């Protein structure tokens, strides 16, 4: 569980980019609007914008990155392109967490190794869920332990019941898994601040004021950034940071600087705007980027493209928070 920037993980000696506290974006994966092939130039452009806007790190091939729609080769290509973009833009120390979940232990370990080879620093893993009826706690512990034993990259657990047939890892299980030296964090997309509090406390998680053990307790939605900080959290991995990264960072920094009332006030604006993105999901987030930054496009099918009226409604719904974004 204890994280070091210089470590030997499963036989791989590395100088690892550390995970700083702060805001991380699970980056969108952009596609050609006609062919649906990867749009590598736009993927790189987006990574550079997010880095310049002050994020602490990036997550490739998560839920927002449409990992489920991509081949393994495409997943590797996206992570490689993201690392190349960060290097070229002058952000060589920015960490990349890679969504590397596959259905089997063997497949997941292979993707972890391929992710390491192209510039990934950590992996974000969901519990296996396709054979839901057989996925009891013993099976889940066995999966994560087997992967952690072999992965060259440290693991951030991903608790997102909506993506895995309702599997919701409780705090006891997450604390148990955190005892493995190659499991270094959890992303709480479940939205449970109580669970985050218990895990952060038990693991002595890193915070803006304390290095602690180095374990990272990530909130999974930007509309509870302040709540994550109050709960002893380490950072936020949130889709909204693709659209309004500066506001997300500002909320975090205000609270970390002790400006609690200002942070709470800005959190309210952020939460109101982020709801429009949450409701419209990947297609809506991409169209919000299109509306305000001139690129974004569409998700891969079977996700539907939004009608013009819906796109306009999203742009209007986030107008207040985007005015603040543009002012920062």
Catalytic residues: 187
CA 139: distance to chain centroid?
25
> Treating both helix axes as pointing N-terminal to C-terminal, what angle do 245-256 and 260-293 enclose, rounded to 10 degrees?
170
97 and 121 Cβ atoms separated by less than 8 Å: yes
**3-state SS assignment for residue 157:** strand
Q: For the chain, how many residues are written?
A: 328
Q: What is the 3-state secondary structure (H, E, C) of 87-134?
A: HHHCCCCCCEEEECCCCCHHHHHHHHHHHHHCCCCEEEECCCCCCHHH
C-alpha dist (Å) from residue 12 to 1, 15, 154: 17, 10, 11
**3-state SS assignment for residue 233:** coil
Q: What are the DSSP calls for 150-171, one per residue?
A: H-SS-EEEEE-GGGTTT----H
Can you tell me the distance from the alpha carbon of 290 to that of 42, in angstroms, rounded to the nearest whole number? 12
Can you tell me the distance from the alpha carbon of 152 to that of 122, in angstroms, rounded to the nearest whole number? 9
């Amino acid at each position: 569980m204890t994280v070091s920037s210089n470590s030997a993980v499963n036989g791989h000696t590395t100088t690892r980019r550390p995970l700083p506290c702060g805001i991380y974006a699970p980056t969108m994966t952009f596609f050609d609007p006609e062919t649906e092939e990867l749009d590598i130039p736009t993927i790189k452009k987006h990574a550079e914008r997010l880095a310049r806007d002050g994020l602490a790190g990036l997550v490739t091939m998560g839920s927002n990155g449409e990992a489920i729609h991509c081949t393994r080769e495409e997943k590797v290509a996206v992570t490689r392109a993201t690392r190349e973009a960060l290097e070229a833009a002058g952000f060589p120390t920015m960490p990349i967490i890679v969504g590397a979940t596959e259905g089997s232990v063997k497949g997941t370990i292979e993707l972890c190794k391929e992710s390491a080879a192209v510039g990934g620093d950590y992996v974000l893993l969901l519990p296996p869920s396709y054979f839901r009826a057989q996925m009891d706690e013993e099976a889940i512990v066995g999966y994560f332990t087997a992967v952690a034993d072999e992965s060259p990259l440290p693991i951030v657990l991903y608790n997102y019941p909506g993506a895995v047939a309702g599997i919701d890892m409780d705090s006891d299980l997450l604390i148990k898994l955190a005892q493995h030296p190659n499991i270094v964090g959890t992303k709480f997309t479940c939205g449970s601040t109580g669970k985050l509090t218990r895990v952060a406390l038990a693991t002595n998680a890193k915070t803006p004021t304390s290095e602690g053990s180095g374990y990272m307790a990530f909130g999974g939605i930007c509309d509870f950034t302040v709540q994550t900080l109050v709960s002893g959290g380490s950072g936020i991995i949130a889709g909204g940071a693709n659209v309004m990264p500066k506001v997300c960072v500002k909320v975090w920094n205000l609270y970390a600087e002790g400006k609690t009332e200002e942070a709470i006030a800005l959190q309210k604006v952020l939460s109101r705007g982020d709801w429009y993105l949450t409701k419209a999901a990947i297609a809506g987030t991409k169209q919000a980027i299109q509306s305000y930054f001139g690129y974004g496009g569409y998700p891969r099918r079977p996700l539907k493209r939004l009608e013009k009226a819906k796109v306009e409604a999203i742009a209007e719904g986030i107008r207040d928070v985007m005015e603040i974004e543009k002012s920062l």
